[in-house]
Amino acid sequence: MEQAPPARWSPSAALRLSAGLHLGAAAAVLASPALWPWCLGAVALNHAVLTTAGMVPRSALLGPNLSRLPPGHAARGEVALTFDDGPDPLLTPLALDLLAAQDARASFFLIGAKARRHPELVRAILARGHTVENHTDTHPLHFAAFGVAAQRRQILRAQAAIEAAGGQAPRYFRPPVGLRSPLLDPVLAGTGLRHASWTRRGADGLLSDPARILRRLRRVAAGDVVLLHDGTWRANATGQPPLLTVLPALLARLRAQGLRCVPLPGPAGGP
């Protein structure tokens, strides 16, 4: 599968308004220096709004963001199952077996450095009918604070590692912990990737109790994008990754509801 070509970047309405506010504030101060406290306050408030938007994973203020499947997928009773932080030599093969047992497919957001260490797992994911996506090269938790060059470097290194390991170029990007900056959207446009967040997440990278994780996912419905982890976890009371309990229970529940797990859609809305 070929990577989408770079796209011409079109700033979101929020970013255009932000740029206009900055230019207007500068012009006002030049025309009347006494206005500087008010102009500085307006700019500071603008930055606070943009920062808050970047901390809300489902926000689209900073650019396009796939947080739900297109209407056609929802009408077919489909749910997009996604996994972050792999591939992991312990958990990824087990997750693949659990998915196969329920005839479920998913998208795996891989860390480039791990893909280089475990290329056989990338190939195994693809061989089972799943897709592989981009989750940065080293998963820096402060990724949203990076400048354009550093963000681009993280994304392109991961893109190259994942494609070299499995032969498929990722189509989507998800930043670490879902945080993004106003600088990310033009970087993604230049790499041909689309930003993807989620509708529901189990927080299984932080929680160890499978029952608590499943409660967080009790409202999963058609069209939702679900986030789980196959590379980060806290061992439960039995010393096992909670995903080994959560995933089969979640898949069984979704099947009982008539829902089908699929990967994220392709460029035209297909698989």
Angstrom distance (rounded) from CA 25 to CA 38: 9
- Sign of torsion, CA 116 65 79 71? negative
Instruction: Choose the catalytic residue: 85, 130, 229, 230.
Output: 229
Q: Is 84 a catalytic residue?
A: yes
Q: φ and ψ at 65, to 5 degrees? A: -155, 115
Report residue 239 as tokens.
Answer: 């010393």
Report residue 167 as tokens.
Answer: 């032969």
Instruction: Choose the catalytic residue: 84, 85, 224, 230.
Output: 84
Report residue 144 as tokens.
Answer: 């949203």
Report residue 96 as tokens.
Answer: 């693949």
Q: Is 142 a catalytic residue?
A: no
**Residue closest to 182 by CA, chosen among 5, 8, 14:** 14
**Residue closest to 263 by CA, chosen among 271, 254, 252:** 271
Question: What residues are labeled active site?
Answer: 84, 229
